[in-house]
């Protein structure tokens, strides 16, 4: 659907060159909800602006549906742009126009017949749950409702790609969840491929199937959300994921475990599997002649998979502990060991 090949984008500011995107290679498949996460200034917005040809790469190719869009202009470029819609953090609604008229804008620009516009706008407002707000002005809507209008407007022309630049950053957590549910519906019911930019990793775990982590203009790590969350490789990715995966062992429990006499270790592990709450430590007890205690456990769901964080105290014979250690490292993501 979208392929970026060796894409670079630099800006010249007062004689000096600034590289906003460096050696970007990214492949987005039809049906993906592809998250791009990174701190402010990482180059995320520049990257999406390359995808809808608002910016041209300094070098490399941006291929959308088989067409190298950075080499297109005129009619062909306008054609492909109609297929790529966008929503923004600040909603970008026209304050002087009603909800209905805001959603109608792209259709008017396309010279769509009036009756068709009406049917489409009403269908889109129904889809986003705002049928009763058609005559309201943006200043009388909540943030979540404004973003719903933004989504209705973006989808009015039946695009196959929706670019979302920080779509929930101005919203509270509950409204954020409702907008994410709506975006999932857009992806699943309307078959729209989504690229979602955010600096909040929890958004990624909620709706994306793939993720790319950006830092200083580069994609430092990318893959499926399941794989990246269970086995992050780069430090920045780990830092992001630590914000959402709860590996915390409460201080008093940790301190008590530290007082154990003899060879003992405290492990923090992550297990990507089915629900292992009941079975994980009991199964380990069957395999190792060690005293094993569960110190903490937290569970999160991600793309239908369960990611469990477990804190374990293992105590016993030094040799058996070493065998246990190798086993854990071979089978799970061991986050931390305290001997
Ligand atoms: N038109 C431009 N001219 C000069 N520099 C630019 C331009 N657009 C972006 N940049 C620079 O490129 C870098 C990346 O900007 P970009 O907006 O892509 O970051 P971002 O990851 O979207 O950040 P944020 O999370 O704050 O939105 C920034 O240092 C920015 O100043
Ligand atoms: Mg940005």
Token reading at 200: 């909040």
| DSSP-H helix ranges across the chain | 44-51, 74-82, 99-109, 114-128, 143-155, 173-189, 201-207, 225-230, 235-242, 251-258, 280-287, 318-331
Cβ-based neighbours of 143, under 8 Å, separated by 6 or more: 91, 170, 171, 172, 175
Confidence of residue 215 (pLDDT cuts 50, 70, 90): very high
Phi, psi of 80 (to 5 degrees): -70, -30
115: pLDDT strictly greater than 80: yes
Is any ligand 1 atom within 6 A of the Cβ of residue 20? yes
Ligand 1 pocket test target in 18, 89, 220 with most atoms within 8 Å of CB: 18
pTM of the model: 0.88
Q: Find out whether the beta carbon of 44 lies less than 6 Å from any atom of ligand 1.
A: yes
Indicate whether residue 17 lines ligand 1 (CB < 6 A).
no
23 alpha carbon – ligand 1 mean position (Å): 16
223-278 tens-digit pLDDT: 999 889 888 999 999 999 988 888 889 999 999 999 988 889 999 999 987 788 89
Distances 107 to 76, 104, 127, 154, 161 between C-alpha atoms, Å: 18, 5, 17, 10, 17
CA distance 324 to 264: 11
CATH superfamily to which 2-230 belongs: P-loop containing nucleotide triphosphate hydrolases (3.40.50.300)
Write the residue with the smallest CA distance to atom 3 of ligand 1: 11
- Terminal Cα distance for the chain, rounded: 49
| Residue 265 φ then ψ, to 5° | -140, 150
Provide the residue ranges of all domains of the chain, joining segments of one domain with +: 2-230, 251-338
CA–CA distance, 56 with 71 (Å, rounded to integer) = 9
- The listed CATH number (3.30.70.260, 3.40.50.1220, 3.40.50.300, 1.10.3720.10) that belongs to domain 251-338: 3.30.70.260
Q: How far is C-alpha 2 from the geometric centre of its chain's CA atoms? A: 17
Residue 76 predicted with pLDDT over 90: no
Q: Three-class SS of residue 115?
A: helix
- Determine if ligand 1 sits within 6 Å of the CB of residue 329: no
Q: Which atom of ligand 1 lies at the shortest distance from residue 12's CA?
A: 4
pLDDT of 128 reads 96
The answer on pLDDT for 81 being more than 90 is no
Rounded distance between C-alpha atoms, residue 260 and residue 100, angstroms: 68
Ligand 1 centre and the CA of 44: distance in Å? 8
The protein residue with its alpha carbon nearest to ligand 1, atom 17, reads 45
Report the C-alpha gap between 336 and 296 in whole angstroms.
13
d(CA 26, CA 156): 27
Q: Is 13 in the pocket of ligand 1 (CB under 6 A)?
A: yes
Condensed to tens digits (0 to 9), the pLDDT of residues 132-170 reads 999 999 999 999 999 999 999 999 999 999 999 999 999
CA distances from 10 to 18, 59, 60, 286 (A): 5, 9, 12, 58
214 Cα nearest atom in ligand 1: 21
């Amino acid at each position: 659907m979208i392929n970026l090949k060796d894409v670079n984008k630099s800006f010249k500011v007062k004689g000096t060159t600034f590289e906003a995107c460096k050696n970007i290679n990214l492949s987005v498949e039809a049906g993906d909800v592809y998250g791009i996460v990174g701190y402010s200034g990482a180059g995320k917005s520049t990257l999406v602006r390359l995808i809808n040809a608002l910016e041209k790469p300094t070098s490399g190719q941006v291929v959308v549906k088989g067409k190298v869009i950075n080499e297109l202009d005129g009619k062909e470029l306008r054609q492909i742009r109609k297929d790529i819609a966008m929503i923004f953090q600040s909603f970008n609604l026209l304050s002087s126009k009603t909800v209905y008229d805001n959603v109608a804008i792209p259709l008017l620009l396309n010279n769509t017949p009036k009756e068709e516009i009406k049917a489409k706008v009403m269908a889109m407002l129904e889809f986003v749950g705002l049928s009763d707000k058609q005559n309201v002005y943006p200043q009388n809507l909540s943030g979540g409702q404004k973003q719903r209008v933004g989504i209705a407007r973006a989808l009015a022309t039946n695009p196959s790609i929706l670019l979302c630049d920080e779509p929930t950053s101005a919203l509270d957590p509950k409204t954020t969840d409702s907008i994410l549910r709506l975006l999932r519906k857009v992806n699943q019911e309307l078959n729209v491929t989504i690229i979602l930019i955010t600096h909040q990793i929890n958004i990624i775990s909620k709706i994306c199937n793939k993720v790319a982590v950006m830092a200083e203009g580069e994609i430092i790590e990318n893959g499926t959300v399941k794989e990246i969350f269970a086995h992050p490789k780069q430090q920045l990715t780990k830092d992001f994921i630590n914000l959402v995966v709860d590996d915390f062992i409460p201080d008093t429990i940790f301190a008590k475990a530290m007082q154990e006499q003899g060879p003992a270790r405290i492990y923090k592990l992550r297990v990507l599997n089915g629900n292992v709450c009941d079975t994980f430590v009991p199964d380990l007890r069957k395999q190792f002649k060690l005293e094993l205690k569960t110190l903490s456990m937290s569970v999160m769901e991600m793309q239908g998979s369960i990611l469990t964080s477990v804190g374990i105290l293992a105590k016993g014979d030094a040799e058996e502990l070493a065998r246990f250690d190798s086993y854990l490292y071979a089978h799970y993501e061991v986050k931390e060991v305290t001997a």
